[in-house]
Structure 1
Amino acid sequence: MAVVSESTFVGRRHEVAAARKALARARLLTLTGTGGVGKSRLALKVAATLRGGFRDGVEVVQLSSLAAGELLAPTVAAALGLRDGDSDPMALLEDHLAGRRMLLVLDNCEHLLDACARFAARVLREAPRLRLLVTSRQRLGVYGEHVLPVPSLPVPDPGLPPHVIARHDAVRLFADRAADASPGFRLTRENAADVAMLARRLDGLPLAIELAAARLRTVPLDRLARELDERLQAVTSPATLPPRQRTLRATMEWSYRLCSAGEQRLWARLSMFPAGAGLETAEAVCAGGEVDGCEVLDLAAGLVDKSILIGEQAEGCVRYRMLDTIRAYGCERLAGDEERDLRERYIGHHRDLVARNRIHETVPDQLERYRLLRRELPNLRAAIETCLGGPGPPAVGLEMAASLWSFWLLSGSATEGRYWLERGLERVTAPGRGRATALWVYSMLALRQGDPAAAAPRLEECGALVRREGFADVLPYAVRTSGVAAFSAGEPGRGLALLEESLALHRAAGDLDGVAFNLYYVAAYGASQSPGRAAECGEEMLALCEEHGAPVTRSYAQLVLGIVLWNLGDLQRAEELVGEAAEFTRDIDDKWCLTQCVEVLAWAAGAHGDHGRAARLLGAAHALWQSVDASPFRLSYHAPWHERCVARARRALGVQAYQAAFREGARLGLDPRPLAGSGRPGAHHASGRV
């Protein structure tokens, strides 16, 4: 969770105490207040102070970049480390939260008010030990909700003695931010009255105070006070706004007018990015007209100096983002041809970004691509939404959603993938290649979620469309998905034949990436049907991944080959392969692969006679299976070995000792690293690393 340091948080002692007290007696606390009043920062501070009081932890979920209420549950599930394996992620969340004592913070709920209210009511009903802390501009209206309005910071009368003025939180905040903006600044007897007047004119709004303090980089305090006073008197905000919102808006307009023309345009254009943007992206998308590409860096630096942008180091480069209130104001400044041109560049940039970063390609930078897409997800959502629900081209939105299929799987976001694909398929009805691709991707995601009824009609349409229109490049994927569907329908012979057919089509087309993934499916589903053939496919897949240096695909090759070798009796190599895959997938948070790895390592511990460790690993695997909404009994290559391992451990330990060890492992659940222990003496195997 995010932690607020003392250097970034000023005042609010009474509000923190009130929130802690409220959460001690109420299970839902909503912090309300106008934009810029500091609700989010207060929530983070409260969460940080309460972290030690919740056995199962504190988790903060930021919702400001989420455009659709349908994505609320999968977003929360992802934040909790749950792989979205079910078409109903709420059920997955309920199972996970049911017995946990934790604090869940939902930040910025006002634009998803109805969805957040339904979510809160349901999880509080199903998880009796859960506490919810919510920030919103208005209450949720849920039974049992406790509302704590967040006021502006207290401001002093400028006529008070300087030492009294200095005690007020609004003055302390200004002095703290002013010292950052102008090193050497401090509150003195001579300037205390001016600072008090500034704080009073800004109604004690933290964001407005911070924006004003940033001006001290270039403007002396006495002149700053005059400028601000003149600007607040000159700006006429809508009379329908409450006084504090009028003050904040006036402060925004004042800050905007103090920017150069280039800075104003960059402020407006960067407001398109919910997740912020790196310098190269800002130059590619935001340059043009009044903003020259070579000036973007200097303009961004100017906006950082004025506290409009926040510059953060991310993986060796600077990334620029805005607070939501500032971003919303910037969006208002886009209109006409500028907005249209920027929108086209924004969509084009993110379309190209997705095309360049397909995770399923057998390349060395798979992991870097995955991390990039995770970081850019809010921006990708905005681009897809603009295409499917706004003025952008729907076909491009559908193309992006379908091209992200491997990301939806690896990140555990099948529900979100299906959401965008459903919307896109409703908008794009022409029988083209884009629709055919989206149909098989939707079917695959539905099958992954155990929803064959939803997959069947889409898959049937895909097959007919591909054959009628002659989309030879889409055909192997449609056949492969049909093979998986056949296994789901209890037809393993037909399913394996279809997977082999798909593999042959990929080979004939010279599609290396398709070959690699089909080898995985043939090996996995053929492990018990045709173990010799499965071993050939597993070895070939591993060799391909090592030849091309593809680390993500390699972990799946190690897993599937390990399972096949286990069936063939090569326990030592199976354990080594699966242990290494477990180590890698745990570090990148790929729970689907990790779950199966921990399951296999439990079998290995049992085979070495360490039944206590086997029981603990089975418990950890049980929690992981639940988190991905799956079961070893649904997979033909897991079920018999799982049952055998459980039976042996029960006999060796006795029922009570087995259950105690199982519960110990289940408590560790999503982080099984503490289960490291000895395995077979003298052997090098990776199970001890888990």
Structure 2
Amino acid sequence: MDGAWRDGPWPEPSGRSESGLPAEASSFVGRSRELAELGRALERSRLVTLTGPGGVGKTRLALRAAHERAGLFSGGVRLVELSALRDGALLAETIAEAVGAPSPARVPARLGTGRCLLVLDTCEHLVGACAPLVRDLLRRCPALRVLVTSRQPLDLDGERVLPVRPLPVAARRDGDRGGDGGDGEAVALFAERAAEVVPGFAVTAANRDAVALLCRRLDGIPLAIELAAVRLRSIPLERLLNHLDILFWMLDNGPSELARHQTLRTTVGWSHELCAPLERLLWARLSVFAGGFDLAMAERVCADDRLGRVGVGTLLHGLVDKSIVQRTGPDRYVMLDTLREYGAAWLDAVEDARPLRVRHRDCMIDLAARAGAAWLTGGGLGWVRRLEAERDNLRAALEFCLGAAGEARTGMRLAVALWPVWACGSRFAEARLWLDRVLAAVPAPVPERAAALWQAAHVRTCQGDSPEALPLIAEALKLADRAGDRHGYGRAQRTLGAAATFMGDRDRAAAAFAEARRALEGGPRADLVLLHFLSGFHLARHGAPRRALAECDRALRLLEGVAGECWGRAWALYVRALAHWFLDEIDDCARTLRACVAMFRRVEDPVGLTSALELLGWVCARRRRYEEGAVLLGAASRYPDKVPVPRLGDPALEDLHTRLEAQALAALGRERYGEHHRRGRVLAVDEIVRFACDDLAGP
């Protein structure tokens, strides 16, 4: 690599994996043989599937292997957790979000040509959707490896299936010699988990046979062993073994998968019976949560006349002590899939689950409403993050509304309330899916439909499908006008202005923005901020950059004194920078861009960050700093906007990009330009933001 790389202002790539693999919550015991076999399989096969019954340790094995081999994958390791996903229609979008792709169609481009490992965890309920998608990814990404955990294979050509067996049960005697330490793995796991609940516990010559027999009774299934070990807090080892003897005397403990499944279910059932009655009820009710929950959510959803709200915290603590519920943060809890499935089955058996699911839905609606009220305020970003954390619960609530009689309109209300998180995170593909579903489910001209229509139209505009947005906008205008909803009418007109802008219809856009201004006058601040920077974009793009600067100033004045608000400010600054560009005020453009790049990074808006990096790359080209410009354009191509077309779908901006890139290619030559461009693609996002905001400010 030539010296220019080392002497240039940009940082060296960190080499860190951006996989986001979760930290292991507890020690990893044994599995050395399986890890070695899995490593060899990943070298020889592009698709490896770990199969086995629930609780056997497929996920732990896959994550440990991914952690150990992350350095071997230059393109990174990406984990996609699918246990809480129930709708196969969202699979492609979920994978796209996990790998940082702009849309499902751009997943192959995001994975790139580098060696990459994609881990799809818990796929058995989505095999029909996973199989064709994995087949297509492997075909389009030659260097990709896919590691799947599932209770059944995907049945694809070239798939290497590795059954994950229970841990070896035989205990090792003092003086035994073993090559890989695998013979006592079940006993070792029990010993480690037992020591966590009973400090000082150890496997000794006096208790080794009892521990080995207990592990044998549990067929060496890790989850069953861990559930049993927790019972040592209240039951001595010998009594625990006697209980298991009684419990399992009727079971055939042979090696079949059916027997192991029965063993696990019986162990889980035994743990269930050892819980107090109210703990069992809470266990069942907590199964309504998809993903995690906090104490306030548990109290609101699970409490009623049978289960007092005050006592939920105490009961939850008891379930944590029994390892039924896991604590994943100071106030965050989750249940393992197997335990959640058991609770869900019990719930259906003991009570009507609909009131519980209604409370869960209402909890999600309340969170979304509070996030909407905080949008473009100092606390708005925190609420967006909160809704992102509740994505699985929000999806579950939407699925309930669309599947239960009489709930579709409420589902539309929830979908519309999620607009801030979809807009700030540029989650246009998922927004379009849910909005289209609720619009199909609620064809009646209810007030919520007008909002769903203009939001669905806005999403299409952001995805480069402005012509498809027009009939939706027309219906939204009609409904809002009929209902006398002045602000709803203004939002629809604002959306029409944006769609017309991207379609190049200058007069129609100007008229729509003028109508929107009249309708939204005196309306909510968030609506006016959006109106001003969208109108400013239209003016900057269509020959009135000075007026565009005035529009941006209006947006920024509305946000004065709102400490901590970044998203609205960032977009107003981006449009201001674009106006400076068209005025040939390059220094002002660069200063403004450096400010908005940092803001877009903070709010994690990929559309905004990409747009700002792209424009800053053009600034470098205008300054004949072609190497830096190529780095920025490479970074913009790695962290793309969440639309299927670049440059916000604007043909004129695309033409500018083509001309300026041609200048850089002519100045550097194709080989040097490609080298710098590739460098931008491998820099971590924080490195490229530091480069854009700090390093480029120098001479």
What TM-score do the two structures reach when normalised by structure 2? 0.90
Residue 265 of structure 1 contacts residue 290 of structure 1 at CA under 8 Å; is this kept in 2? no
From 256, 259, 265, the equivalent of 2:281 is: 265
Give the 3 Å change call, closer, same or farther, for CA 673–39 of structure 1 in structure 2: same
The answer on 1:578 being equivalent to 2:593 is: yes
2:406 maps to 1:363: no
- Decide which moves more: 57-66 or 339-348: 339-348
Q: Does 1:518 align with 2:531?
A: yes
Contact 1:359–1:406 (Cα < 8 Å) also in 2: no
**Which residue of the partner structure matches residue 15 of structure 2?**
none
Q: Deviations over 1:508-543 (max 9, x none)?
A: 4x2211101101101112113221221111011122
Contact in 1 for aligned 2:365/2:417 (Cα 8 Å):
no
Return the alpha-carbon distance in structure 2 between the equivalents of residues 254 and 344 of structure 1: 30
- Match of 2:304, SS state, is coil
Which one of 398, 401, 414 corresponds to residue 387 of structure 1? 401
Where 2:541 maps in the other structure, the secondary structure is coil
Match of 2:343 among 316, 330, 336: 330
- Residues 1:197 and 2:205 aligned together: no
C-alpha change, 1:232 and 1:289, in structure 2 (3 Å) is farther
Amino acid at match of 2:97: A
> Which whole-Å deviations, capped at 9, do the CAs of 1:134-163 have from their partners, x for residues lacking one?
011001011111101111111127xx7466
- Give the secondary-structure state (helix, strand or coil) at the position aligned to 2:559: helix
Greater mean deviation of Cα atoms: 338-347 or 377-386 = 338-347
The reply on whether 1:55 has 2:77 as its aligned counterpart is: no
> In structure 2, what residue type is equivalent to 1:447?
T
Q: Does 1:465 align with 2:479?
A: yes
What is the match of residue 83 of structure 2?
A: 64
Superposition map of 1:372-521 within 5 A: 372-391=386-405, 393-508=407-522, 510-521=523-534
Offset, 1:644: 5.3
SS of alignment partner, residue 399 of structure 1: helix
Render the CA deviation track for 1:207-231: whole Å, top value 9, x for unaligned.
Answer: 0000000111121111111122223
Measured after TM superposition, the shift of residue 647 of structure 1 is 4.6
Distance 1:426 1:6 in 2: 43
> Pairwise CA RMSD of aligned residues?
2.6
1:281 and 2:300 are equivalent in the alignment: no
> Which whole-Å CA distance do the structure 2 matches of 1:686 and 1:395 have between them?
52
Q: How does 1:96-115 map to 2 (within 5 A)?
A: 96-115=110-129
Output the CA distance in 1 between the equivalents of 2:425 and 2:599. 15
Report the secondary structure of 1:156's partner residue.
Answer: coil
Alignment correspondent of 2:7: none
Q: Note the C-alpha offset of 1:588.
A: 3.6
**Contact 2:487 2:519 survives alignment (8 Å):** no
Matches within 5 A, 1:220-299: 220-233=236-249, 242-299=258-315
Please tell me whether the aligned partners of residues 272 and 280 of structure 2 are also in contact (alpha carbons under 8 angstroms): yes
Deviation at 1:126, TM superposition (A): 0.6
> How do 1:33-48 and structure 2 match up within 5 A?
33-48=52-67
Q: Quick one: which amino acid aligns to residue 204 of structure 1?
A: G
How far did 1:357 drift? 0.6
Identify which of 676, 680, 685 aligns with 1:661: 676
- Unaligned runs of at least 5 residues, structure 1: none
CA separation of 1:466 and 1:491: change in aligned 2, threshold 3 A: same
Asked whether the equivalents of residues 497 and 535 of structure 2 are also in contact (C-alpha less than 8 Å), the reply is no
After superposition, the C-alpha distances for 1:593-623 in whole angstroms (9 at most, x for unaligned) are 0011111222333344422212221222233
**Residue of structure 2 equivalent to 1:30:** 49
Map 1:516-595 onto structure 2 (within 5 A). 516-529=529-542, 530-549=544-563, 550-595=565-610
Amino acid at match of 2:101: L
Q: How does 1:8-27 map to 2 (within 5 A)?
A: 8-27=27-46
What's the secondary structure of 1:548's corresponding residue? coil
* C-alpha distance in 2 between matches for 1:150 and 1:472: 61
Q: Which amino acid aligns with 1:168?
A: G
Alignment of 1:167-206 (within 5 A): 167-206=183-222
Query: Contact 2:613 / 2:636 at 8 angstroms: preserved in 1?
Result: yes
2:506 is matched by which residue type in structure 1? P
Contact 1:60 1:105 in 2 (8 A): yes
Kept after mapping to 2: 8 A contact 1:388/1:397: yes
Measured at CA, do residues 318 and 197 of structure 1 come closer, stay the same or move farther in structure 2, by a change above 3 Å?
same
Could you list the per-position Cα deviations for residues 423-458 of structure 1 after superposition, in whole angstroms to 9, with x for gaps in the alignment? Answer: 212221221101121111111112211223542332
Structure 1 stretch displaced more, 534-543 or 123-132: 534-543
Percent identical residues: 39
Q: Which residue identity does 1:564 align to in structure 2?
A: A
Look up the match of 1:153.
Answer: 167
Q: Secondary structure at the match of 1:146?
A: strand
> In structure 1, what residue type is equivalent to 2:71?
G
CA distance in 1, matches of 2:25, 2:396: 34
Cα distance change on mapping 1:581 and 1:489 into 2, 3 Å: closer
Give the distance between the partners of 1:25 and 1:610, measured in 2 at CA: 45
Residue of structure 2 aligned with 1:624, choices 620, 623, 639: 639
Which residue identity lines up with residue 580 of structure 2 in the other structure? L
Which is further off, 140-149 or 625-634? 625-634
- Report if aligned partners of 1:166, 1:192 keep a CA contact under 8 Å in 2: no
Q: What TM-score comes out, normalization by structure 1 length?
A: 0.92
My pick for the range that moved more, 383-392 or 186-195, is 383-392
* 1:348 and 2:323 are equivalent in the alignment: no
| Alpha-carbon distance between aligned partners in 2 of 1:125 and 1:80, rounded to the nearest angstrom | 17
For residues 153-177 of structure 1, the C-alpha deviation after alignment (integer angstroms, 9 at most, x for no partner) is: 11127xx746659951110110011
Partners of 2:566 and 2:603 within 8 A in 1: no
Q: How far apart, in 2, do the equivalents of 1:219 and 1:574 lie?
A: 71
